[in-house]
Amino acid sequence: MQTHARPIRSKIALALLAALIVMVSVLMLERDRAGLSITAFDVGTTPATLYQTPGQTGPIVVIAHGFAGSRQIMQAYSLRLAQAGYRVVAFDFEGHGRNPVPMSGDVTSIDGTTALLVAETRRVIAAARTLPDSDHIAMLGHSMATDILVRASIAEEEAGTPVDAVVAISMFSQAVTATDPPNLLVITGQWERFLSQAALDAVHLVDPVAGAGDLAQSGDVTRKAVVAPLTEHVSVLFSPVAVNAAQDWLDRTYDTQRTGSAGHMGWWILALLGGIVLGFYPVVSALPVGPPAPAIPLRRFLIATLGPAVLTPLIIAPLYRNFLPVLVADYLMLHLALYGVLQLVLLRVWAAGRVEVKWVAVLALSVWGIVVFGLALDRYAASFWPNAQRLPIIAALCVGTLPFMIADSFVTEAGRGALWRRVLARVVMFASLVLAAVINPGDLTFVVIVMPVFVLFYLVYGLMGRWVGRRSGAVAAGLGLGLCLAWALGVSFPLFAHV
């Protein structure tokens, strides 16, 4: 009796620990919002958010996200600058976040998609200028947005309405010249070597001997390159060094000294999401017990892993044509569907006679992954709640993600397979996507960009799916993970109107 009580006490203790982590993390994250007025509004069809301290009439900072990003992912900057007295207008580019209008145009041409996004940015700037006391406007953006903001800055100057400063995070833009933008701070992560060199190149146009951290000046042109330590292309968005550097640059621009400094928002987001994942473990123990996944002989495992990885891109990539209004989601649907079906056929799992669906487990994994985890992610880190335009895309993606994740659950023996098998199965899948991009680079280059989404999915959702698989069987885990993967892909990639 006492032996039986110990696991129960352990699960209760784990649930309480998870709840404590979640509560503390939420309190710390909400502290960044304390005292702020956060108001959603639309600029035409572009959704935007105004962050400000009530009564403040400080300079306005227009903030733009990078490719596959959203307003939420820029909140470390938006909230910090608003707390410092700036008024921040952050927005979702066309095709991103909650913006209902898809991207369009030629993504390879400056006169195509880039020109359309520059025009959208300038409409947001024009809307920001209608706010009270809007004489001073600066811009801050990440990755893809840096080129857009540089070009928007040049266009605003030519129109006689120049912006005061540009803060470019992880910048790459061929529009930067020795004089434009005249007031530019470039921030890169320590592990973004190529972009760090691009930042120095922009500074060297003003002062050929200036290094990282040096202020370069020539006449009315002022530039600086800052490197955020121990960060890469995403974590630089949460680096206190980077956020403080942005505020310092704006303070210098407006000849003011504002109080406060950036906190560790990124770590609290990780703690919150980790607490939510940890809290799912005690839930799993209450799920119905399903049949164990059949053991897969080594030879059959290798055939089922390597065969579909080679055959799928060879069959689909040469024949691929766009048919969904989102970048590469249609190809992913086809690729994952064929990949999964081929694996299931080669594994012959149905012949084992132990295929059973525990629907309660499917529901638990789906709700925890999409609603509980997803709502936290959407509020603090990235857009995860779709608008109406994305729902049909999520449904279409299920055609591919469901068979793929069911097959993946059997390949990994519902999480009970050897670690090397689980790693090999995922690495080979990534290689299959790369092969597709090599076969059809004109249409499928963007497929490679999906890999970070898959890596994060396997690290977070894969762990929860492994728990479910061990408890309730491979099919339950596969169905739950398939729904979560369709949702994650459907909300992550930009809507795009193919011409």
Domain boundaries along the sequence of the chain: 33-262, 289-492
Q: For residue 4, what pLDDT is reported?
A: 55
Structural contact between residues 380 and 284, judged by C-beta atoms closer than 8 angstroms? no
Q: Which stretch of DSSP H or E encloses residue 137?
A: strand 137-142
- Amino acid code (one letter) for 26: V
Reported confidence tier of residue 319, pLDDT bands at 50, 70, 90 = confident
Hey, what are 494's tokens? 């930009």
Please determine, for residue 444, whether its predicted confidence score (pLDDT) is greater than 90.
Answer: no
Q: For residue 57, what pLDDT is reported?
A: 86
Structural contact between residues 393 and 105, judged by C-beta atoms closer than 8 angstroms? no
Q: For residue 329, what pLDDT is reported?
A: 83
Helices 298-316 and 391-411: crossing angle, nearest 10°?
150
Task: Output phi, psi for 137, to 5 deg.
Answer: -135, 135
- Average confidence score pLDDT of the chain: 92
The string of pLDDT tens digits covering residues 201-226 is 999 999 999 999 999 999 999 999 99
Nearest residue to 471 via CA among 429, 425, 421, 409: 409
Nearest residue to 479 via CA among 339, 305, 357: 357
Query: Does the CA dihedral 333-338-344-347 come out positive or negative?
Result: negative
Q: For residue 1, what pLDDT is reported?
A: 46
Q: For residue 492, what pLDDT is reported?
A: 86
Average pLDDT over residues 368-387: 95
pLDDT above 90 covers a percentage of the chain that reads 78
The string of pLDDT tens digits covering residues 267-315 is 999 999 999 999 999 999 999 999 888 888 999 999 999 999 999 999 9
CATH class of 33-262: alpha beta
Partner residues linked to 64 by β-bridges: 91, 141
Q: For residue 73, what pLDDT is reported?
A: 97
DSSP state of 138: E
Hey, what are 79's tokens? 């909230």
Please determine, for residue 353, whether its predicted confidence score (pLDDT) is greater than 70.
Answer: no
CA distances from 134 to 151, 161, 254, 360 (A): 21, 12, 13, 55
The string of pLDDT tens digits covering residues 1-55 is 455 566 788 888 999 999 999 999 999 999 999 999 999 999 999 999 999 999 8
Partner residues linked to 39 by β-bridges: 50
Average pLDDT over residues 434-452: 84
Hey, what are 466's tokens? 């492994």
Nearest residue to 365 via CA among 288, 268, 294, 454: 288
Q: For residue 498, what pLDDT is reported?
A: 66
Task: Output phi, psi for 291, to 5 deg.
Answer: -70, 140
The string of pLDDT tens digits covering residues 108-167 is 778 889 999 999 999 999 999 999 988 899 999 999 999 999 999 999 999 999 999 999
Average pLDDT over residues 191-200: 95
Q: Which stretch of DSSP H or E encloses residue 292?
A: none
Q: Which of 458-462, 483-487, 489-493 has the weakest average pLDDT? A: 489-493
361 CB-contact burial (10 Å; exposed 0-12 / middle 13-18 / buried 19+): buried
The string of pLDDT tens digits covering residues 47-98 is 999 999 998 888 999 999 999 899 999 999 999 999 999 999 999 999 999 9
Structural contact between residues 316 and 436, judged by C-beta atoms closer than 8 angstroms? yes
Reported confidence tier of residue 435, pLDDT bands at 50, 70, 90 = very high
